[in-house]
Amino acid sequence: MSFLDSLFAKKEQSVLGVDIGSSSLKVVQLRKEGGKAVLETYGELALGPYGGGEVGQATSLSAEQISETLRDLLREAKVTTKSSGVSIPFSRSLLSLVNLPYRKNKDEQKTIIELEARKYIPVPIGEVQLDWFIVPKIGPKESDGEQQTVEVLIVAVHNDELATLQQVMKGADLNASFYEIEIFSTIRAVVDEPIKPVLVLDIGAASTKIYVIEQGVVAFSHSISTGSQDITRAISVSSGVSISRAEAVKKEQGIGSDPEHGSPELVFSRIFSEARRVLMQYETTSKKSISSVVLTGGGGVTRSLSAYARNVFSIDVHVADPFSKTEAPAFMRPILEDIGPEFAVAVGLALRKLAEI
């Protein structure tokens, strides 16, 4: 073996996180170096133009069209690996947090969970992939004789959705070792609080997802049909500019945008009012206080949004910074902080994939 051969043999494998959103595709490529995640490349490509629409618009493309877009993105971002993990849209999955009888025997517990799961899934069990997680208890641990129930997060994804994603990845010539519901990728990338409940406000293009995360597990979830494309559309209509120009105005000027461009504040107020209602409902029913709010998703990059959100929630609010979990050149940090909310899912996927190495 020559010196160069041994040098290249030490190089760690690179991995890719692929986030297939409703309005764009995002990829993040990482490699492991000295036990750390090193950012190699990232990229985003809008799906709107591939479906006859504009940048920022949610689309409904075929697997072939998404594969074509993904191939273009991989080329533009200069991605060098095929080893990847892929997101599953929250809207195409089912999550239920339920209390079930506790059994000391693990096989008995598994049987009870799988039988009870059928009650919460509105389609035949053979049509979905089922998974579940037992939520750790907070406080003094009960003895086996005292514990009566166990809290379980039941997760189901329809086989058709997985088949479509597999078709997309095959068309893009990528090898995916796992498919993960986007909220779990987001948690890995942006939630650092290990115990206290955190509210994640994920403002996507077509909808906004509201999650309460406790001990790294989804304790509550809610979705509303207003998203960042509604903000873009409001600016476009009121100011008479294109959707793509309105998208740029939203990111550049944000909440305090010039009135002639149509302030997005009215749409954001609807989103935040609903999120505050969810927060209050959770605190009332669980008798626990939300410790902080994390803003993520494409809408999370809107300028001045965190300051506006602090006035609404009156608790700690911060914008997601998933790239903080990666090593990158110092000069790139301001850019990565600005775009971070859009890349939370892709970073979370890449971090999980990196753990497989």
**Domain identity same for 301 and 345:** yes
Rounded Cα–Cα distance for residues 22 and 339 (Å): 17
pLDDT category of residue 139 using cuts at 50, 70 and 90: low
**Percent share of the chain, pLDDT over 70:** 90
Report the pLDDT value the prediction gives residue 206, as an integer from 0 to 100: 85
Rounded Cα–Cα distance for residues 62 and 12 (Å): 35
Report the pLDDT value the prediction gives residue 261, as an integer from 0 to 100: 46
**Domain identity same for 80 and 109:** no
Distant-in-sequence, close-in-space partners of 108: CB < 8 Å, separation ≥ 6: none
pLDDT above 70: residue 7: no
Q: Which residue has the tokens 């090898």?
A: 175
pLDDT above 80: residue 55: no
Average pLDDT value over all residues in the chain? 87
Tokens of 17: 């996180």
Query: What is the distance of C-alpha 117 from the center of its chain?
Result: 24
Report the pLDDT value the prediction gives residue 175, as an integer from 0 to 100: 96
Report the amino acid identity of residue 92: R
Examine residue 79 and state whether it is found in any structural domain, yes or no: yes
Residue 20 contacts residue 87 (beta carbons within 8 Å): yes
Report the pLDDT value the prediction gives residue 144, as an integer from 0 to 100: 54
Report the pLDDT value the prediction gives residue 256, as an integer from 0 to 100: 56
Full-model pTM: 0.88
Report the pLDDT value the prediction gives residue 40, as an integer from 0 to 100: 98
Report the pLDDT value the prediction gives residue 283, as an integer from 0 to 100: 95
Report the pLDDT value the prediction gives residue 123, as an integer from 0 to 100: 84
**Average pLDDT of the residues in 52-74:** 89
Least confident stretch, 65-74, 116-125, 135-144: 135-144
Report the pLDDT value the prediction gives residue 10, as an integer from 0 to 100: 47
Grouping H, G, I as helix, E, B as strand and the rest as coil, residue 223 is strand
**Domain identity same for 28 and 118:** no
Distant-in-sequence, close-in-space partners of 195: CB < 8 Å, separation ≥ 6: 138, 214, 215
**Most confident residue range from 58-67, 150-159, 337-346:** 337-346
**Domain identity same for 78 and 99:** no
Report the pLDDT value the prediction gives residue 245, as an integer from 0 to 100: 82
**Domain identity same for 195 and 224:** yes
**Domain identity same for 136 and 199:** no
Report the pLDDT value the prediction gives residue 323, as an integer from 0 to 100: 98
Examine residue 87 and state whether it is found in any structural domain, yes or no: yes
Least confident stretch, 118-122, 138-142, 179-183, 317-321: 138-142
**Domain identity same for 224 and 275:** yes
pLDDT above 60: residue 29: yes
Report the pLDDT value the prediction gives residue 3, as an integer from 0 to 100: 40
pLDDT above 60: residue 28: yes
Report the pLDDT value the prediction gives residue 34, as an integer from 0 to 100: 87
pLDDT category of residue 66 using cuts at 50, 70 and 90: very high
Tokens of 106: 């693990």
Q: Which residue has the tokens 């997601």?
A: 320
Distant-in-sequence, close-in-space partners of 42: CB < 8 Å, separation ≥ 6: 26, 27, 28, 29, 77, 343, 346
Rounded Cα–Cα distance for residues 80 and 31 (Å): 11
Residue 197 contacts residue 216 (beta carbons within 8 Å): no
Q: Which residues of 240-261 are buried (b: 16+ CB within 10 A; e: fewer)?
A: ebebbbbbebbbebbbebeeeb
**Domain identity same for 295 and 284:** yes
pLDDT category of residue 227 using cuts at 50, 70 and 90: confident
Examine residue 238 and state whether it is found in any structural domain, yes or no: no
Distant-in-sequence, close-in-space partners of 293: CB < 8 Å, separation ≥ 6: 198, 199, 200, 201, 275, 279, 309, 313, 315, 316, 317, 318
pLDDT digits (tens, 9 = 90+) for 156-196: 999 999 999 999 999 999 999 999 999 999 999 999 988 89
Q: Look at residues 134, 158, 182 and tell me which one is the last residue of a structural domain.
A: 158
3-state DSSP helix/strand/coil % of the chain, to nearest 5: 45, 25, 25
Q: In what order do the strands lie in the sheet with 175-181?
A: 36-46, 24-33, 14-20, 83-88, 175-181
Report the pLDDT value the prediction gives residue 138, as an integer from 0 to 100: 64
Examine residue 64 and state whether it is found in any structural domain, yes or no: yes
**Average pLDDT of the residues in 74-92:** 95
**Domain identity same for 266 and 332:** yes
pLDDT digits (tens, 9 = 90+) for 259-313: 454 466 777 888 899 999 999 999 999 999 999 999 999 876 676 788 888 888 9
Q: Which uninterrupted H or E stretch holds 147?
A: none
Whichever domain contains 114, its CATH number is 3.30.1490.300
Q: What are phi and psi of 195, to 5 degrees?
A: -120, -55
Strand partners, 319: 295
